[in-house]
Structure formats: C-alpha cells, structure tokens
Amino acid sequence: MKMTPLITSAVMHFGEMGSRWGFNRTVGQILALIVLNEEPITAQEIADALNISRGNTSMGLKELQSWRLVKQHLVPGERKDFFIPAGDIWTLANRVFEERRKREIDPTMSLLRDLLLDTPATDKEANAQHKLNEIHDLLESITVWSEELQNLGPEKLNTLMKLGSGVGRMLELKDKLLPGKNSVN
C-alpha cells in the first residue's frame, strides 16, 4: 500500500499526537491509517505502509481494539483479518475521552475520596484536605459536565461548539443584568 504525501503527513502527525491522547506513536499512526483509508485494511498492509513489524502492528491493533477505536471487518472470500474504524469521528473522539477519563480521572477521584475520609492529624493536613476537596469537586464537576456533553450526540455537540465564545458573552451579559446572581460556585 502506497500512501500519498497528504496521507503520509496526516499519519505522521497522528503518531506525534498519539502520546498526547494516551497511546504511543505507532498506535496513533495505525489509527490514522485505518481512519483515513476508504477500504478495510489488513494488518500486513498496515505493517508495510508504516514500515513496522507484524508483531508491532498486531500489538497496536489490539490496543486500538481495547480502546474500542477499531474493529475487525470480514471481507467475503478473504481469509485475512481486515480493520476499519469502530464508528464515526465523533464516536472515536468520545471513546478516546472516555478511556482517558477511566485511566486518569477515575483513579484520581478514588484516591481523593480516600484521602478526604481520613481524619487530619495536623493543621497542615486539614489545609491539604481542604485543597484536595476543591480538586475533587472540580474534577467531579468536569466529569459530570463531560458525561452530559457526550450524551448530547454529534449534532447538538457541534451546535454547542459553534456557539463558542458566544456562551461566555451571554454569561457576562447575565452578570451585568443580574448583579449578585452568580451561578458559578
């Protein structure tokens, strides 16, 4: 499989971004190649296009499957395994976000809850617990908000994103019209 310069550039960039999304460069490149390919693609085609070993390709595909970002696809008359994206772009983005939450935010929330249940032994610990409680509350608010956003669906999410800074301007206007009525705690 020969990649065009445009696809090569995108695949290489996805590789660089992969580490920021929670997986390694090769896994990011594999994901991009599958997403950008019109047709289902085999592991061997992926290995050849990215010039990586079949073992590395298989490990990357297994990781992407564990993230629920790619899935196997049967091609009638073929014995090889083919791979396709496991949804549209919005679905994939939601799954990356969901997996990051499970891997990063959920364990932090669990630790914070445990630490907040402890009785502070000193004033320093009491102060630290107060700050930890603020962190917990912030992460909890972000988690609830993000779950609500994920449940909106692509069309409503897209509309909300297009509103952009307009929402901020509306809140500023509300504050001017209703002084002392601050909805943010």
Note the pTM of the prediction, 2 decimals.
Answer: 0.75
Q: What is the CATH number of domain 5-85?
A: 1.10.10.10
- Buried b / exposed e across 68-100, counting CB within 10 Å, b at 16+? bbbbebeeeeeeeebbebbeeeeebbbbbbebe
Average pLDDT over residues 21-48: 94
Is 132 in contact with 115 (CB distance < 8 Å)?
yes
Q: Give the chain's mean pLDDT.
A: 90
C-beta atoms surrounding 29 within 10 Å? 25
Check whether 182 has a pLDDT greater than 70: no
Question: What pLDDT does residue 12 have?
Answer: 95
Task: Return d(Cα 180, Cα 183) in angstroms, integer.
Answer: 9
Confidence of residue 106 (pLDDT cuts 50, 70, 90): very high
Average pLDDT over residues 10-19: 92
Is 98 in contact with 150 (CB distance < 8 Å)?
yes
pLDDT digits (tens, 9 = 90+) for 130-169: 999 999 999 999 999 888 888 887 788 778 877 876 777 7
Domain ranges of the chain: 5-85, 89-176
